[in-house]
Amino acid sequence: MDEYLWIKYAHILGATVIFGTGIGTAFQMWAAHRSRDVRGLALVTRNVVKADWIFTTPAVLLQPLTGTVLAVSAGYGLHDRWLLGAILLYGLTGLCWLPVVWIQIKLRDLAAQAAATSQPLPAAYDRLFRWWFVLGVPAFGSVLVIFHLMIQKPTF
């Protein structure tokens, strides 16, 4: 397999990790949140934060590198609107994801404190969770549109 295909493989794998880890951890967070079980929430939020550092962060860093090599190798540039759109949506996803990472850390800490003291979740937890959810909607939507742009390469 030539170098281009290895880079393409890495790019697709990175996109899969970003979306797969994101949807998996989002489901776990949502299910744990709905349960209101502070011990379960403490465990899930701890694991979600770990998953973001172990899986999502490296994939997020890999995508622009592999994407740039692929685009340049294939002769695409920013004059290709589908590529520019994908880059802008990737930026939007990042602008949503960065505060989500911070929120997840705060949710983890609040859930751990509630579990350690056998107290219910504080109101701050619910406010932060709403923001976590609101920021997740455009992030996931953007990734789906990026997939479409990468596959179809539409002309506008």
Rounded average pLDDT over 124-141: 97
State yes or no: pLDDT of 128 exceeds 90. Answer: yes
The C-alpha atoms of residue 95 and residue 145 are separated, in whole angstroms, by 16
pLDDT beyond 90 at 156: no
CA distances from residue 58 to 22, 46, 67, 106, 111 in whole angstroms, order as listed: 13, 18, 14, 22, 26
Longest dimension (CA), the chain: 59
Q: What is the per-residue pLDDT for 124?
A: 98
Please state the rounded mean pLDDT for residues 36-62: 97
Residue 1: pLDDT band (50, 70, 90) is confident
Question: What are 72-105's pLDDT values in tens digits?
Answer: 999 999 899 999 999 999 999 999 999 999 999 9
pTM recorded for the entire structure: 0.92
In terms of Cβ atoms closer than 10 Å to its own Cβ (0-12, 13-18, 19+), residue 142 is buried
pLDDT band per the 50, 70, 90 thresholds, residue 18: very high
Percent of the chain with pLDDT over 70: 100
Domain ranges of the chain: 3-151
Give dist(CA 30, CA 7) in Å, integer.
Answer: 34
